[in-house]
Amino acid sequence: MTYTRFFLSSVAAAALMTPVLSSVAVAQSASPGAVIELEPIVIKGKDALSTAELLEEKMQNVPLAADVVGREDYATAPSPTLAEALKFSPGVVVQEFFGGHDQPRLQIRGSGLQQNPTERGIIVLQDGMPINRADGTFVVGLAAPSQAEAIEVWRGASANRLGASVMGGALNFISSTADTRPGSTLSFGAGSFDSYSAKGSHAIDYGNLSALFRFDLSTSDGERDYNGSDRRIYGGNLSYDWGNGVVTQVFLSHAKLDFDVPGPLSLEDLNSDYTVINQNPMLGAANGNGTGIGPNVVRDQPGRETEQTLIGSRTTFENGAHRYDVGVSYSQTDDEFTFPIAHGVRVTDGWDTNLMARYAYVPDAYELPLVELTANYAYGEADRDYYENSGGNRGAQFGQNEFEASTLSVYAGANVPIGINWLLTPSLSYTRATRDNEDLWGNGSDFENTYDGWSPSLSLRWKPNGDQTAWVSVARSFDAPTSDDLISPVGGNVNTSPTTVQAADLDAQIADTIEIGWRGRIGAFGWDAVAYHAEIENEFLLLNTSSGVPYTTNAGETVHNGLELGLSGEFSPVLRGRLAYTWQDFHFDNDATRGDNQLAGAPEHLLTAGLEWDVMEDLTLSGTVTWRDKMPVDNMNTTWADDAVLLDLGARWRVSDMVELVAEVTNVTDETYASAVVANDILSYANQAVFIPGSGRAVFIGTNFSF
C-alpha cells in the first residue's frame, strides 16, 4: 500500500507542479466539449448575463436532463444551505438534516434515497473535475454554494459522459474566479439561533495570470439543544492562459466541519415540542424528556467532525476542432462520526486521487461534439477504527479495518446529425469498481469485491427551431456499493454498544431508464420538462432496525417514475417568477413482503414557486412558497410524515456599487413539520423516534461589500 500511495501521490504532484507556477481563474463547465474560456469581463449593469445564464444558453442543445443554478438564485441568504441553492432545480430533492451546515439528505431521481447521511449515488465535480472518494462517497456537508458562481445539475444519463454511470447524475460546482468576482468582496451575516457567518474573496489579475483566494466561515447554535454547527472553508484557484488554446486552472481548499446531531423525534414529540431532544430510551416503555424509542442524545452526544484538504488541476487544449481536457485531484480526509451507542464511534482517515481525461471533436459547423471520449480513474485507501460510544467519547475499541477502493469509468459517445433538425446520440460506458477490506481486529469482515458493468444509452433529439429542444432517450446506469455499504457494526441497540463489525453481501445496482424531455423559450417565458421511467434491480436500501442500528441491503425489483418541470418568466420589466415541480413515484415491484408499496423517505410531490419584484431600481423583494407532500416513514407504509407548506421572504438593497444589504425570513408561518425521516423497513413501535424536525421561523440579515 505504501508504494501505491507514493506512486499516485507523485503522479498528482507532478501534474500539479507546473500549473501552480502560473494561473488565471474562470468558471469551468462540464458541458459537452467545454474548455476553459478566459474572456474579459464587460460590465453592462443589471442586463449583463450571469455565468449561469451563459451556461444555460450552452446547455440548451444537450438532448438530456440538465439545468444550471446561479448564485443570484439564492442571493438573499447570507450563508446559503444546499437546500436553498437547489430549491429551483427540478428533480433534485434536498431534505434538511437539522437546519445548519451539517449533512442534508440529497437525492436525484431517488439515487441514494435512504442514506443518512447521503454519501453516494451522485458524482460531485469541482470545476469539471470529479472529487468523489474512490469508493464513490462524498461528504455532503462540505458542499459550499456560497463559494460557487454556478452549479451545473446533470440528471440521470446526462452525466454518463462525465464518467458517471450512476443513476442520480452529477453536480458540478463552478468556482467564482478573478474573472467573475474581480477585486475584493467581504460579507457578514447574522440571524436566529445565534447564527453568524463571514466570507470574503480577493482576486488578482496579471493578464494571462490570475488568482482568487477565498474564505467562508459559519457557526450556529441551532434551534434545539445540542444543535450546534461550525464550518470553516479556505481556498482559492489560479489560472493561466498559456496561449494557443491551452489553459490551466488549479484549485485548492481546506474545509473543517463540526456539528451536533440532536436526533429524531417521535410523532408525539414533533407535534408537541419539536425543540426537545430524545433521551432515556427504554424499549417498550415511556421515556423521560422525549417519549420516542430512539437514540439517547443527552447520554450519547452524537456528532461529526470532518476535515478535508483537496487540491486539483484541470487543463484544456484546443487544436482546431480537437479539444482535450485532462485533470487530477488529491484529497486527504479525516472523519470522526460519533453515532448513538447502537452504532458507536467511527473514525476514518484516508486519501484519494482522481485522474480524468476527455476528448471532443467539434467541427465548426457543429453545436455539440461529433465524438466525445472520457476516462476517469479513482483510487483511495482508508484506515477505519470502531469504538464504543462512551458519553460521546471513544470507549473500548471493537473493530479495525483497512479499506482499498478503485473505480474506473470510460465513456464513448457521438452526436450524429440525421437531418436538418434531428440528432442521434449513441453512447457506451463501462465501469469497473474494486472494494477491498482487510479486517485487522479479527472480526472476520474481510472482503475483496469486484463489480463491473456496461451502460449503453441512445438519445434522439429534435429541434423544431433555435429556441426549443425535444428528445427521447433510453439508458442503463450502474452503481457499485461503497465501503460503508459493505460493512457495519452489529450487536448493539439503543442502550448497548456493538460487539463486532460485519460485512454485507451486496450486488451492484442496475437501472434501465426511459426519458422524454422538452425545453425551450418563447419570448420572456421558458420551460424545461422531463418525464422518466426507471426499472431497477438490486436497489440499495439503507434501513434502520428498531434498535437504531443501520444496515444496507439490496431490494428486489423497484420502479422509479418521475416528472421534472421547471418554468420561468418575466411578467413585466420588474416582476419575475420561477417554478420547480418534482413528482416522484418510487415503489417496490411485486415484492414478496412489501408488495407495490412506496419506498420510505420520498415525498410524491414537491413544488417550489417564487416571485421577484424590483420595487425600485436598487431594491428587490422576493417570496418563495414550497409545498412538500406527505412521505412514508417505512417501506411497509404504516406511518407517514404529514405534508408541509413553507413560506420564505427575502430582500436585497443595493445601497451603492460597493454595498449591498440582504435579509431573509424563513418559514414565516412557523410551520411545524418533519424535514426528513429515518427510513425503516417497518416501525416496530408506535412511538419510535424517526421524524427529523424542520426549523421554525428564522430571520437572517447580511451585508455584502465589493471593492
pLDDT digits (tens, 9 = 90+) for 498-544: 999 999 999 999 999 999 999 999 999 999 999 999 999 999 988 76
Strands ordered across the beta sheet of 66-70: 66-70, 148-155, 169-175, 123-126, 129-130
pLDDT digits (tens, 9 = 90+) for 340-396: 998 999 999 999 999 999 999 998 867 888 999 999 999 999 999 999 999 999 999
If pLDDT is split at 50, 70 and 90, which confidence band does 3 have?
very low
pLDDT digits (tens, 9 = 90+) for 462-486: 999 989 999 999 999 999 999 999 9
E strand or H helix at 9, and its extent?
helix 2-20
Give residue 546's pLDDT: 57
pLDDT at 16 over 60: no
Give residue 24's pLDDT: 33
pLDDT digits (tens, 9 = 90+) for 579-614: 999 999 999 999 999 999 999 999 999 999 999 999
What is the rounded distance in angstroms from the CA atom of residue 85 to the CA atom of residue 197? Answer: 17
Percentage, residues of the chain above pLDDT 70: 90
Say which CATH number the domain at 681 has.
Answer: 2.40.170.20
Q: Give the mean pLDDT of 666-683.
A: 93
E strand or H helix at 348, and its extent?
strand 345-361
Give residue 278's pLDDT: 84
3 state SS of 655: coil
Give residue 25's pLDDT: 32
pLDDT digits (tens, 9 = 90+) for 632-646: 999 999 999 999 999
Query: Which residues are CB-contacts of 273 (< 8 A; sequence separation ≥ 6)?
Result: none
Domain interval for residue 103: 2-706
Q: Give the mean pLDDT of 540-559.
A: 80
Which residue has better confidence, 39 or 182? 182
Give residue 4's pLDDT: 47
**Percent of residues in the chain assigned helix, strand, coil, to nearest 5:** 10, 55, 35
Give residue 14's pLDDT: 36
pLDDT digits (tens, 9 = 90+) for 85-117: 999 999 999 988 877 677 788 899 999 887 766
pLDDT digits (tens, 9 = 90+) for 166-216: 999 999 998 888 888 899 999 999 999 999 999 999 999 998 999 999 999
pLDDT at 256 over 60: yes
Q: What DSSP line would sit under 170-236, residue for residue?
A: EEEEEEP-TTTS-SEEEEEEEETTTEEEEEEEEEEEETTEEEEEEEEEEEE--SSTT--EEEEEEEE
pLDDT digits (tens, 9 = 90+) for 291-337: 567 789 999 999 999 999 999 999 998 889 999 999 999 999 999 99
Q: For residue 216, what are the CA distances in angstroms to 174, 196, 259, 577?
A: 16, 11, 16, 30
If pLDDT is split at 50, 70 and 90, which confidence band does 289 have?
very low
**pTM, 2 dp:** 0.91
Q: Give the mean pLDDT of 665-686.
A: 91
Give residue 645's pLDDT: 98
- What is the grid cell recorded at 651? 430582500
If pLDDT is split at 50, 70 and 90, which confidence band does 283 have?
low
State the total domains in the chain: 1
